[in-house]
Structure 1
Amino acid sequence: MSEKLKNAFPSNWVGLSPARFRKYKTWINAVKPGICGTYVAAVILHDVFNQSYGIDLEKEKLITGLKTVIDDTFPYKGTFPWDVWHGLDWVLKDNADFSVKIHFVPERKVISLLNRKNPIPVAVGTATLFGSPYKNHWVVVYAYGYNQEGKLFFKAYDNHGRYTAILPASQTIGCVWIEPN
């Protein structure tokens, strides 16, 4: 690898280990048009139940159930931050252990959530408007880092089959997470 390419990405990451998200590399969104918001909601819900209760929720039931309250609720195509928030909030409405939060500027919010004693993975939207090669998409960010030039990057699961995707934070907008109460 060239020195320039090596320095383009962070060498140190803060947050959660990629190993925790390896199991999701088989959670691939093959639906056309995509339902990436549903997939990231399923991953953060699965992760919180697994970490908090030791429960391994079934992938297909999560995807099917969340799709009805995220991708099928509103009359427009695409998934916005409020769609992901709405779906997770609806699913967790009777669970006093958690609440669902939303923010529209991921950079600072993601850093604060990953700097906690118990870091929290975050559903983060990418945007064509900001030059994302992902276009308008959703990922689960679990770590962040700065490269040698001071540019902020996120490490994430994406629902294209990668669990160690690296993307510039400047290409993101909107984030949703599950907050322990």
Structure 2
Amino acid sequence: MSKQMENAYPVSWIGLKPARFRKYRTWINAVKPGICGTYVGAVILHDAFNQKYGIDLSKEKLITGLKMIIDDTFVYKGTFPWDVWHGLNWVLKGNQDFKVKMHFVPERKVVALLNRKNPIPVAVGTATLFGSPYKNHWLVVYAYGYNEEGKLFFKAYDNHGRYKAIIPASQTIGCVWIEAV
């Protein structure tokens, strides 16, 4: 990596440690067309249950179940924030310990959620419209940082096999998270 590229990224990060998301590097979305909304929904649901109850939910069951609700419910192609919200909300109905929330502007919301005493991971969408090399995609953001120029970046699990992906916050739109009640 060139020195110029190194300086483009933040030196320090606020939020959760990457080690917590290392286990998800094998949660790779190999389906064509992709089901990245299902994968990020599965990861934040798995993480919420693991943190709250110490339960290790089955990856296969999560992906299979959430795919039917998130990616297969609506007739249009692609996954929007309300699709991820709807799927997680449906799965968690009747569970009084969690509430699923959604917001359309990730920059402020993600920073606020990761600045808490107990930060939580957030499913965040990227957009071709905003210049994302990921195009329209979903990631799980668990840390943020500002580079030397003050530009906001997110560190995230990417369902292509990376758990320390770095993306500019300016390339994102829409976010969904599971709030412990």
Whole-angstrom CA distance in 1 between matches of 2:19 and 2:6: 22
SS at match of 1:60: helix
* Aligned AA (2:5): L
Tell me the matched-pair count. Answer: 181
Runs (4+) off by over 6 Å: none
Give % identity.
83
* Aligned AA (1:15): G
SS at match of 1:6: helix
> How big is each residue's C-alpha offset from its partner over 1:70-128, in whole Å with a ceiling of 9 and x where there is no partner?
00100111000000000000000110000000000000000000000000100000000
- Return the offset for 1:3: 2.9
| TM-score, scaled relative to structure 2 | 0.99
| TM-score, scaled relative to structure 1 | 0.99
Unaligned runs of 5+ in 2: none
Whole-angstrom CA distance in 2 between matches of 1:2 and 1:67: 40
Matched with 1:43 is 43
Whole-angstrom CA distance in 1 between matches of 2:174 and 2:50: 25
Whole-angstrom CA distance in 1 between matches of 2:100 and 2:122: 11
Matches within 5 A, 1:5-154: 5-154=5-154
Whole-angstrom CA distance in 2 between matches of 1:59 and 1:159: 13
> How big is each residue's C-alpha offset from its partner over 1:107-161, in whole Å with a ceiling of 9 and x where there is no partner?
0000000000000100000000000000000000000000000000000000000
Whole-angstrom CA distance in 2 between matches of 1:25 and 1:6: 23
- Return the offset for 1:177: 0.1
- Return the offset for 1:44: 0.1
Unaligned runs of 5+ in 1: none
- Return the offset for 1:5: 1.7
SS at match of 1:132: coil
Whole-angstrom CA distance in 2 between matches of 1:2 and 1:176: 34
